[in-house]
Structure 1
């Protein structure tokens, strides 16, 4: 008998910050993934927030899938402790594997790489390529300016309200996880 795989959450987050508050947030997310018995799909690095979420998820009993392109194996210190480590040739392949393997997406604070992953997944959903839920956990206002600007773009007719409605933006861990499904 084949056991169905657990609900898979893809987490986008920083691979560079050393801010203790952000590392703590990533750890709390990993703990919650483990508590729920979910699977983590991540960028496959063992540094910064990316490493913290994976380590905490595994410590809580979660299965972890890391997806990392060859050129980042050393820079982001590939998470060789992952239950499955997928090494891709390119960043585009990395994102596709992560999207394919996930049932939902959670974005934590990060830089341009995190934003690029978030925007590509969000755009794909808006264009009908997937219907997977998306949330941003923004405890410290990291994304406030971005969503203020996006609201202005909506007001100017560049972004439809339905696109904004596809993403739950919250400061609350429980609310973020509730928005992702499987309650």
Structure 2
């Protein structure tokens, strides 16, 4: 029997202003369940985090949430998950999420999602892991980030190889295919 595959989803603790963000989060959660993959995420029951988790759970996915003590109230720590891990701080949260996943997906989000993305990309760039990283570019959300990374490279602060540390996908069907290829 194949080992359970786990996908870490980094995303916003807010829903954003476009309904498409919420739709993509729900579609991602449902897709993870349909593929038989476990959702590993920040354990919040708010914003895109909550949408992804509720959809994954409703479709039958196993779920692992990781949240630091100080965010239990603010992010409304979801307690009905398959597994809930409460950490002391944000650094431990990211490490536990990363260590318990086979791939990373980044949905729209704010500073926290950017921090999570850049940390796993940096780890990949310096050779600490080879886990696939995907940006779900719902309604072009991550297009400015890709332009910034091109600018960083053009200005000589990173090599072209930075761009091969992650892939940008347009929608959940493209994400599904990319994850299937990466996790097979």
TM-score range, shorter chain: over 0.9
Give 5+ residue unaligned stretches, structure 1: none
Q: Over aligned residue pairs, what C-alpha RMSD do you find?
A: 1.4
Are 1:105 and 1:135, in contact at CA under 8 Å, matched by a contact in 2? yes
Q: Partner of 2:15 in structure 1?
A: 17
Are 2:7 and 2:37, in contact at CA under 8 Å, matched by a contact in 1? yes
Q: CA deviation at 1:137?
A: 0.6
Q: Deviations over 1:82-135 (max 9, x none)?
A: 100000000000000001001000000000000000100110111111100000
Misfit runs of 4+, over 3 Å: none
- If the length of structure 2 is used for normalisation, what is the TM-score? 0.93
Give 5+ residue unaligned stretches, structure 2: none
Q: Partner of 1:95 in structure 2?
A: 94
Q: CA deviation at 1:177?
A: 2.6
Q: Partner of 1:173 in structure 2?
A: 172
SS of residue paired to 2:64: strand
Per the alignment, do residues 7 and 128 of structure 1 end up closer, same or farther by CA in structure 2, a change over 3 Å counting? Answer: same
SS of residue paired to 1:176: helix
Are 2:34 and 2:59, in contact at CA under 8 Å, matched by a contact in 1? yes
Quote the Cα distance in structure 1 between the aligned partners of 2:115 and 2:159.
20
Give the 5 Å matches for 1:8-157.
8-17=6-15, 19=17, 20-157=19-156
- If the length of structure 1 is used for normalisation, what is the TM-score? 0.94
SS of residue paired to 1:97: helix
Q: Is 1:6–2:17 an aligned residue pair?
A: no
Q: CA deviation at 1:145?
A: 1.3
SS of residue paired to 2:140: coil
